[in-house]
Amino acid sequence: MATDIPISTEPDTEVVTKRSKPTSRAMLIWRRLRSTPRFWVGGILLAFFVLFALFGNTINIYSPTDQDVFALNEGPSAQHWFGTNTIGQDIYAQTVVGLQKSLLIGIIAGPCASILAAIIGSTAGYFGGRVETIIVWFINLLLVLPSFFILVLMAPLLRQLSWTAIVVFLVLFGWMIMAQVVRNQTKAIKDRDFVRAARYMGVSTPKILSRHIIPNVASILIVDATLGVVSAILAETSLSYFNLGIQKPDVSIGTLLAEGSGAAATRPWLFVFPAGVLVLMLFAISLMADALRDAIDPTSGVNRD
């Protein structure tokens, strides 16, 4: 005799599937960065030099302008860690102040040049036509003009101005190549669906550029801004070395190298310590920029770490 077997409508086990959130691009870049030794080496070195520039003189009893008449042209000692120059000024104190000025100029000029490149390059690539032709012509004109020759002509004016004039000069002559890159990237992006949708919805051109175009080229701009810091520091050092940049009584790494280069063989501390600080700091920034570039574009440096 058949019996009715009750069939339960409830599941024996309840399976709950949790969908993980998609990893953002920023988080993906950070994961790549933190697994890159170059990033940590460069970051630690750069943090050291930033702290050195900010607080290095708090542990020193001498200011950059103090003159110790009992220690003229002396090498490194317990009192003067980097030695003194011909008039008894402390090289350590001057190196700290010079690093402050050089680092400040680089941090301002590099990113500002990248921002200017983003604005001009995206404008040229988005509008195209006559606007692009005029902007490209202007970029090519600036690339052809010898910036160093222009600086020599402007040197008498720059000597009368503060260090901010050097920053303006470095920005005005440091954006052209990246603007060309941004222009090409913008031309490839402007016909995508999300840009067309924004245009059809009546979004203004400045908002399209700032919300849709520039964020999509931000990765190359970040790398360019980081490398721009290195370029700006090197440019300022070169200008100051040839007496075209920072002027006395102000101090930068370039002025210290100019003063110490003539005595590098007989009094090496005048040249070696400022040069060593400059080289190691630029090395640290370059390591970070290199790691950042590889994190953004993994195909740029396969199996280098």
Residue 140 vs residue 243, higher pLDDT: 140
The upper half-sphere exposure of residue 85, i.e. CA atoms within 13 Å in the direction of its Cβ, equals 25
pLDDT of residue 109: 93
Which of 156-170, 180-194, 205-219, 227-241 is predicted with the least confidence, judged by mean pLDDT? 156-170
Query: Residue range 236-252: average pLDDT?
Result: 83
Residue 181 to residues 11, 103, 120, 177, 292, Cα–Cα distance (Å): 59, 26, 11, 7, 18
pLDDT at 203 over 80: yes
pLDDT of residue 271: 92
pLDDT band at 294 (very low <50, low <70, confident <90, very high): confident
Q: How far apart are the first and last CA of the chain?
A: 76
pLDDT at 116 over 60: yes
Residue 245 vs residue 64, higher pLDDT: 64
Q: Which of 229, 281, 278 is nearest to 105 (CA)?
A: 229
Instruction: Summarize pLDDT for 161-195 with one digit per residue, the tens.
Output: 778 888 888 898 889 999 999 999 999 888 888 88
d(CA 124, CA 175): 14
Most confident by average pLDDT, 26-30, 170-174, 244-248: 170-174
pLDDT of residue 20: 53
pLDDT of residue 66: 87
Domains of the chain: 37-66+79-296 (1.10.3720.10)
pLDDT of residue 21: 60
pLDDT of residue 73: 87
Instruction: Summarize pLDDT for 140-150 with one digit per residue, the tens.
Output: 888 887 777 77
pLDDT at 219 over 50: yes
H-helix or E-strand spanning residue 2: none
pLDDT at 231 over 80: yes
